[in-house]
Amino acid sequence: MTDGAMLSAEEFDRLFDEGMDTTPYVIPGTEICAATARKISVTMSPWMIEELDREADRLAVSRQSLIVIWLAERLQEERERRCRA
């Protein structure tokens, strides 16, 4: 899905086994374009970071990917809610 390319099952498995972030290949819309991506800094409590890490480990994604996924989902929900109102 990144750059319009599809991966074979073997290539996907290799990336996953090597610990690469496979999120963009399984969740459309979570791709990050390096040319337009911007960094932010977020300060949060240690318990929140621990919970994020547990959930990221459970899903086999990085903490950053999990945050991006959750924010994208929430923004989509809010956009849909506003359209219904």
pLDDT at residue number 4: 46
Tell me the C-alpha distance between 6 and 2, whole Å: 8
Assess whether pLDDT exceeds 50 at residue 59: yes
Task: Report in angstroms the alpha-carbon separations of 46 from 23, 49, 50, 61, 74.
Answer: 25, 5, 6, 19, 22
Assess whether pLDDT exceeds 70 at residue 56: yes
pLDDT at residue number 34: 61
pLDDT at residue number 2: 44
Per-chain mean pLDDT for the chain: 81
Mean pLDDT of 39-52: 95
Domain boundaries of the chain, sorted by first residue: 2-84
Contacts of 68 (CB under 8 A, 6+ apart): 23, 30, 32
